[in-house]
Amino acid sequence: MSKEEKMSRWGSEVLQAPVVADCWNRNVSAQSIVIVAHRSPDGDAVGSSLALHHHLRAMGLNSSVVLPDGFPAFFNWLPNADDIVLQDVEMERANALIAHAEVLWCLDFNGPKRAGQMEEVIRSSRAFKIVVDHHMEPELFADVLLSDPTCGSTCELIYGLIEAWYQQDSLSLETAQCLYTGMMTDTGSFRFSSVTGNTHRILGHLLDSGVNQAWIHEQVFGSNRIAKIQMQGFAMSEKLLVWPEHRTALISLTQAEMKRFDCQSGDTEGLVNQALALEGVEVAVFMKESEDGHVKMSFRSKGEYSVRDLVAEHFNGGGHRNAAGGILENTPMPVAIEFFQSLLKKWMSV
């Protein structure tokens, strides 16, 4: 089978029935099903992994979820979040699960590099690999690639897959809660341009399945620690740079600054969107110093500006047109900011 033949797409086309059926049949006959997602897992990565885990369970199958590292505490309430094996905590167990899996679901990433320290074990695993993802330019490393970069979340794609298996009437409440969470977090609470009528049709079914959406919003967005809010206040009042002539804003935080506010996983999430929400701003960047001296960056844009192209060219990363991430290794923060500023003149003059 050629690589092209291995591909199946959503979009306006229906998932190819034989491929979809094959994916299901592989699950049924496998001794071991493992689900993995990208490093620094977000709501869509954790949500889609646990959603598939719960759906398989509802259909009488067992699976394991293995993630490269921890996720924000505001996702701890997700049903069976405790089942997740974190590779940076339990490396041997995690690697053995991936290496000996018969079916390996790779969710919400377009290439094994995005799985950080799990890259090699994912590549070398002899499992039948199935990717479900919505990032651009997927690497063709798996046996089946189910990719739709126009879709707002991997959770929405997982729902589409369940439908393609004709199992949507067997959706468990747990699956529905996990899907809702990933769809919510990857679409900025259903307000990005990736949201479609189909997104809302699916949401309707999730709510009808018993999802308490107000409660989920409260868990994820309404349970902030004071230190987190104070750090965000500090970032907005002391660490915001705006270049009105380039319609660009930047927020940066060093390790020392984050430690001062007892910064925890997920605490800086959303800062970049606050910068993007400024009047006249069409591109926003959040730069964060890592413990090992790198500068990690989150980019967001409005409309036609492709931050993915900028990141791919200059910041060793990728993502989507309006949301991308990259890194400058071994770079002091002031140097990273200066480099970014030097690019602005050329890049934001259009």
List residues near ligand 5GP by CB under 6 A. Answer: 114, 135, 298, 317-320, 323-327
Judged by beta carbon distances under 5 to 8 A according to partner kind, the member of Mn ion, ligand 5GP, none in contact with residue 44 is: Mn ion
In the complex, what is the shortest distance from the CB of residue 11 to ligand 5GP, in angstroms, rounded to a whole number?
Answer: 18
CA 153 – CA 186 distance, rounded (Å)? 6
CB burial of 313-332 (b: ≥16 within 10 Å; e: otherwise) equals: ebbebbbbbbbbbbebeebe
Q: Does residue 44 belong to the site contacting Mn ion (CB under 5 A)?
A: yes
Of the pair 74, 128, the CB lying nearest ligand 5GP is at: 74
CA 107 – CA 69 distance, rounded (Å)? 15
Q: Does residue 108 belong to the site contacting Mn ion (CB under 5 A)?
A: yes
Of the pair 84, 295, the CB lying nearest ligand 5GP is at: 295
Of the pair 112, 317, the CB lying nearest ligand 5GP is at: 317
Nearest CA among 99, 92, 78 for reference residue 36: 99
In the complex, what is the shortest distance from the CB of residue 38 to Mn ion, in angstroms, rounded to a whole number?
Answer: 8
Q: Pick the binder of Mn ion from 186, 257, 267, 269 (CB under 5 A).
A: 186
What is the full DSSP assignment across 94-149? HHHHHHT-SEEEEES-SSGGGGGGGHHHHHH--SEEEEEE--SS----SSEEEE-T
In the complex, what is the shortest distance from the CB of residue 5 to ligand 5GP, in angstroms, rounded to a whole number?
Answer: 25
**For the purposes of burial, counting CB atoms within 10 Å of the CB of 217, is it exposed (0-12), middle (13-18) or buried (19 or more)?**
middle
Of the pair 160, 317, the CB lying nearest ligand 5GP is at: 317
CA dihedral 191, 195, 199, 204 (to 10 degrees): 30
Q: Does residue 133 belong to the site contacting Mn ion (CB under 5 A)?
A: no
| Contact pattern from residue 139 through residue 178 relative to Mn ion, giving x for each residue in contact according to CB under 5 A and a dash for the rest | ---------------x------------------------
The token pair at 238 is: 């002391």
What is the contact surface with Mn ion in residues (CB under 5 A)? 44, 108, 154, 186
